Amino acid sequence: MALDVTPTPSRVRSAVRGDDHVSDDKPRDVVDLLIAQHDEIRRLFDEVEGAGGEERAAAFDRLRRLLAVHETAEEEIVHPFARRHLADGPEVVGARLTEENQAKQLLSDLEYFGTGESGFSRRLGDLRLAVMDHARQEEAEEFPRIRELSSGKERHRMAMAVRAAEAVAPTHPHVGFESAPANVIAGPFAAVADRARDAIRNVTRRHLG
């Protein structure tokens, strides 16, 4: 039987506190946390590119889960803050959303064709270029200004929501469930993003609203 990972209030509270198998060494500042996710996304691209067969399919599933969590967190938390507080917020956010939509379309194509198709590697390369260029733009244009314009407490609260999303769509099995891959949310990017969005909104209603 698959482990229930529905983002209930109690599960989200546990993830926010860091006691729901969420590693205590994860950054508690949202900017640091998202930059750490950029590094993990880069590592997962390497893993997918270097694998084959079932290992490649499993690595790609981990990659798209993290992309779903990451992009949903930015859309629900980071971009709204930037839009409100940056002098040119609407323009900056508009450019980032355009990049994200391009990456989502490339990822959708990969999901449709599958990891075993002959064109997968080329399409994966296109996705990697789009995602990592987007990450560089965020780290150069958006994240430093968010750090400057927000308090440590605000960034910690935003990180709570990201951690909750990670808890319901992890890229690695929870401690104690290494032999039970059903404990992670699988499926297309959109389905994982929906679950991550539910978890984020659960936290924002309680802590950021």
- Boundaries of every domain in the chain: 27-208
Q: State the alpha helices, DSSP H only, in the chain.
A: 9-17, 30-50, 53-73, 79-85, 89-113, 120-137, 143-149, 152-168, 189-203
Q: What is the pLDDT of residues 123-157, one digit of tens each?
A: 999 999 999 999 999 999 999 999 999 999 999 99
Cα distances (Å, whole numbers) of residue 84 to 2, 78, 142: 41, 10, 12
pTM of the model: 0.78
Q: What is the pLDDT of residues 99-132, one digit of tens each?
A: 999 999 999 888 888 898 888 999 999 999 999 9
Q: In this structure, what token pair is assigned to residue 153?
A: 């407490």
CA geometry: angle at 162 spanning 160 and 168, to 5°? 105
Class in CATH terms, 27-208: mainly alpha
Q: In this structure, what token pair is assigned to residue 155?
A: 């960034």
pLDDT-based confidence at residue 209 (cuts at 50, 70, 90): low
